């Protein structure tokens, strides 16, 4: 089973499809508007494990859709992760951020806590003044054990594409035991105990005749985010090749209008078109 310890990516991150097909443990660097010069950590380098099967995901089809902790076919030890980080930093130099992301949902890995500890120890030893974060689809934030682990991070980027149940099922194609209400409750309770930066990420798109960027969509998600109180909201459109070809992006004006409504609710919003 071929796994790359480190894959050097284009700095602008504008590859339409991953040339390494998600097989790298550590990948980057990226010049991110959100996180500065950053590298990513992929805990599922051989098989996409997620609680979603989003229509727009450029990582492709979810091979293991689950809400339970999943052991991937590739056994990633803390020692192997450390080796991969060493190769990355030796190649890149200093970074501003190290984020758990990659193929699938990183909070589904049962050894996430040990990996976070490995990264924190590595950053300290190398005197890296790097923010350590995670990109999550928000589906496990109702679990106390996950909350306890994520509280140790500096930054959590949490997905919330819609607050309308039927649209959630069409766009995100979640595990059958999930509901948008459960996810919102998880985000709300997580915000109460998380002292780092909480960013909410919204992907605006059209899939066949369904879209999530109408005025009603914006107002409903704005009202919801007011209760969650994120530090910032990141609004995106698909910019890599989506899993399904019938996915398209909204116009620049539609993104501007959507973001404007969120700002009217007093939310700090940054749009990426």
Model confidence over 156-174: pLDDT tens digits? 999 999 999 999 999 999 9
Which domain does 196 fall in, by range? 4-272
What is the model's pLDDT at position 18? Answer: 64
Cα angle, residue 244 at apex, residues 103 and 179 outer, rounded to 5°: 65
Q: What is the CATH number of the domain that holds 257?
A: 3.20.20.70
pLDDT truncated to tens, each residue of the chain (273 aa)?
Answer: 588 899 887 766 666 566 556 789 999 998 877 788 999 999 998 889 999 999 999 999 999 999 999 887 777 889 999 999 999 999 998 899 999 998 899 999 999 999 999 999 999 999 999 999 999 999 999 999 999 999 999 999 999 999 999 999 999 999 999 999 999 999 999 999 999 999 999 999 999 999 999 999 999 999 999 999 999 999 999 988 999 999 999 999 999 999 999 999 999 999 998
CB-CB contact of 176 with 132 (8 Å): no
Which has the closest alpha carbon to 249: 241, 54, 180, 259? 241
Number of domains the chain is built from: 1
CB-CB contact of 115 with 54 (8 Å): no
pTM score, whole prediction: 0.94
């Amino acid at each position: 089973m071929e796994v790359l310890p480190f894959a050097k990516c284009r700095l602008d991150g504008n590859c339409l499809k991953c040339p390494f097909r998600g097989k790298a443990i550590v990948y980057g660097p990226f010049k991110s508007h959100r996180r500065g010069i950053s590298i990513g950590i992929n805990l599922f380098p051989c098989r996409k494990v997620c609680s979603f099967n989003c229509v727009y995901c450029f990582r492709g089809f979810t091979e293991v859709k689950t809400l339970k902790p999943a052991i991937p076919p590739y056994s990633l030890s803390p020692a192997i992760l450390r080796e991969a980080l060493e190769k990355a930093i030796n190649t890149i130099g200093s970074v501003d951020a190290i984020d758990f992301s990659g193929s699938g949902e990183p909070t589904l890995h049962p050894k996430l806590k040990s990996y976070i500890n490995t990264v924190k120890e590595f950053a300290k030893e190398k005197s890296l003044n790097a923010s350590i974060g995670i990109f999550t689809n928000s589906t496990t934030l109702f679990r106390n054990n996950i909350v306890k682990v994520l509280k140790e991070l500096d930054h959590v980027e949490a997905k919330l594409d819609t607050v309308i149940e039927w649209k959630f099922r069409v766009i995100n194609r979640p595990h059958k035991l999930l509901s948008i209400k459960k996810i919102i409750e998880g985000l709300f309770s997580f915000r109460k105990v998380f002292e780092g930066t909480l960013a909410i990420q919204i992907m605006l798109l059209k899939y066949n005749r369904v879209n999530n960027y109408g005025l009603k969509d914006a107002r409903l998600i704005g009202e919801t985010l007011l209760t969650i109180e994120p530090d910032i909201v990141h609004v995106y459109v698909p910019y890599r090749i989506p899993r399904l070809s019938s996915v398209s992006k909204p116009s620049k004006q539609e993104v501007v209008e959507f973001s404007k409504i969120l700002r009217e609710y007093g939310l700090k919003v940054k749009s990426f078109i």
